[in-house]
Amino acid sequence: MSRASTAAAPHPITDRVRQAMSVTLRHCEELLPEADWLFKLARSEATTTPLRIKLGLDPTAPDIHIGHTVVLDKLRQLQDLGHTVIFLIGDFTSMIGDPSGRNTTRPPLTREQIEANAKTYYAQASLVLDPEHTEIRYNSEWSDALGARGMIQLAAKHTLARMLERDDFTKRFRAGSPISIHELLYPLMQGYDSVALKSDLELGGTDQKFNLLVGRALQQEYGQEPQCILTMPLLEGLDGVEKMSKSKGNYIGITEPANDMFAKLLSISDELMWKYFRLLSHRPEAEIATLKAEVGGGRNPKDAKVQLAKEITARFHSAAAAAAAHDDFQRRAAGGVPDQIAEISAAGAPLAIGNLLKQAGLVPSTSEALRLIDQGGVRVDGSVVSDKGLKLPAGTYVVQVGKRKFARVTVSI
C-alpha cells in the first residue's frame, strides 16, 4: 500500500482509532509502516470490517513459555478490539527449521515430533487468547499443495541478494559457516503464509523482522495490499542473558505447576524484574512506576518480585494457587519441607548417597552429587550431608538438594 493509496481514500481518525493505535504501540519494539496501520485501522472502523491479524509459531517444543506470551498478550489486546486473530501453527515450516538468530543450521524436526508438539500448542495459547474468536490454521494447508512447481514459482519472486541481507545469513556467509539451501526457503514459506491468509498485520519477536518483511514483499508480488508488521521485545530467560528458550533451560512454561512457576519468577534478578513487569504484567503503567520508585527509595525489591510472581502465577493457575505457592516458597526458604513432594523408589540398600540422588532425579550424575555435598547443598531428613561415602539402609528419607529440590525416597534392598 503506497502513501498515494492512503491519501486517495482517507477515513476519519476517530477516538476509537486513536485508542486502537495506542494499544498497538504499547510496549512494542517497532510498527512498520505506522501510517499504513493507522490507515487500515481507520478504514476498518469506517467500514466495520475486522482486520486480519496473524501470529505464527512453529511447534519446535511441546510447551509454550511465558516469553511467547509477550506476543500473545498483544494479539489478545487487538482481538479484544474486535479484529480477527489467526493463530498459525507452522507444522510445515517446522520441517525446515527457522534460521532466525542461528549461527548453525537448525536440525529439522520429524513429522511425528511436530504433530506431537502441535497438539498442545493451541490448548496452551488458549490460556491467553479468546478461543471462541480465534481462527486456528496450519500452514501445511497451502504449503503442501504448492508442490515442486509452486515452490519454484515462489522462489522466483525473491532474490538471493535480498536473502543474504539477513544479518544471521550474512555473518555465517562471512565466517564460512554452512548455509543449507533449505534454510533460504524458510523466510519465503513464512512470507507465503501471509499471502495465503491475506494478513493485514503480522506479529513476531524482534528476531522475526526479516521474515515479516518478506511476507510484506511477497504480498505485493501477488497483488495484495501488504501487511504491516509489529515486532515485540524478546524476553530474557531466568539467566538474564539469553532469550527465553526451552532448549537453553532458562524458561518458565505456562503450564508448569504453580509452585515451580512462582519459585522461578522469584529467582530472576532485581534488574530483570522490571522488564518482566513491563512486558508481562497487566497492571497499569502508573502503578508499576510507583512500585519501582518505592524500591528505588529503599523498599525491599523482593516485595515487588513477590507481587509479580503472584500476578503471573494467578493468571495461569488461580489466585488461591498463587497464594499457596507463596506459602510453599516461604516454608522452603525457612528450611521447611513443601506439602507436596515427589515420591521416589530406589533400589540397592545400603545405597550410596550419590547413587540415591541420581536415582531420585535430583542430580544429573553422581559426580554432581558429590560436588554438591562438598558445598553443603545436600540434606537428608533435614541434616546436612558432609560424608560423600554415606550409605543409606532400607527406609524412607526426605532428601533435599539446594533450596528447592525435594523428594521423599524409599530405599529398598
Both 172 and 318 in one domain: the answer is no
Q: Examine the fold and report which residue of 333, 360, 382 is the final residue of a domain before the chain moves on.
A: 333
Both 327 and 364 in one domain: the answer is no
Residue 412 to residue 396: CA distance in whole angstroms: 9
pLDDT class of 222 with cuts at 50, 70, 90: very high
Residue 105 to residue 57: CA distance in whole angstroms: 19
Q: What is the DSSP letter of 283?
A: S
pLDDT surpasses 90 at 39: yes
pLDDT class of 101 with cuts at 50, 70, 90: low
pLDDT at 8 (0 to 100): 46
Both 32 and 176 in one domain: the answer is yes
Please check whether residue 253 lies inside any domain of the structure: no
Both 48 and 99 in one domain: the answer is yes
- For residue 273, give the nearest of 309, 323, 317 by alpha carbon: 309
pLDDT surpasses 80 at 95: no
Mean pLDDT, rounded, for 170-185: 82
pLDDT class of 204 with cuts at 50, 70, 90: very high
Q: In a 10 Å sphere around its CB, with 0-12 CB exposed, 13-18 middle and 19+ buried, how is residue 181 labelled?
A: exposed
Answer whether 196's CB lies under 8 Å from 142's CB.
yes
To the nearest 10 degrees (0 to 180), the angle between helices 15-25 and 34-47 is 140
Please check whether residue 36 lies inside any domain of the structure: yes
Q: Examine the fold and report which residue of 279, 302, 333 is the final residue of a domain before the chain moves on.
A: 333
pLDDT class of 2 with cuts at 50, 70, 90: very low
Residue 61 makes CB contacts below 8 A (sequence gap 6+) with 117, 246, 247
pLDDT at 71 (0 to 100): 96
Both 263 and 142 in one domain: the answer is no
Please give the mean pLDDT across all residues of the chain: 88
Both 309 and 402 in one domain: the answer is no
Number of domains making up the chain = 3
| H or E segment and range at residue 51 | none
Grid-cell match 495506542, residue found: 22
Both 8 and 154 in one domain: the answer is yes
pLDDT surpasses 50 at 6: no
Mean pLDDT, rounded, for 357-374: 89
Cis peptide preceding 226, ω within 30 of 0: no
pLDDT surpasses 90 at 36: yes
Please check whether residue 239 lies inside any domain of the structure: no
pLDDT in tens, 79-94: 999 999 999 999 888 8
pLDDT in tens, 238-269: 888 889 987 777 889 999 999 989 988 988 88
Both 315 and 402 in one domain: the answer is no
Can you give the residue range of the structural domain that contains 186?
A: 3-232
Q: In a 10 Å sphere around its CB, with 0-12 CB exposed, 13-18 middle and 19+ buried, how is residue 385 labelled?
A: buried
pLDDT at 4 (0 to 100): 37
Q: Examine the fold and report which residue of 309, 333, 357 is the final residue of a domain before the chain moves on.
A: 333
Both 68 and 171 in one domain: the answer is yes
320-324, 336-340, 358-362, range with greatest mean pLDDT: 320-324
CATH number at residue 353: 3.10.290.10
Please check whether residue 246 lies inside any domain of the structure: no
Both 87 and 186 in one domain: the answer is yes
Please check whether residue 290 lies inside any domain of the structure: yes
Answer whether 229's CB lies under 8 Å from 201's CB.
yes
Q: What is the DSSP letter of 173?
A: H
| H or E segment and range at residue 213 | helix 209-221
Both 34 and 169 in one domain: the answer is yes
Residue 412 makes CB contacts below 8 A (sequence gap 6+) with 345, 346, 347, 349, 394
CATH number at residue 23: 3.40.50.620
Please check whether residue 250 lies inside any domain of the structure: no
Please check whether residue 247 lies inside any domain of the structure: no
Residue 102 to residue 21: CA distance in whole angstroms: 33
Residue 402 to residue 404: CA distance in whole angstroms: 6
Both 198 and 176 in one domain: the answer is yes
Please check whether residue 244 lies inside any domain of the structure: no
What's the pTM? 0.75
**Nearest 10 degrees: Cα torsion 184, 186, 187, 193:** 150
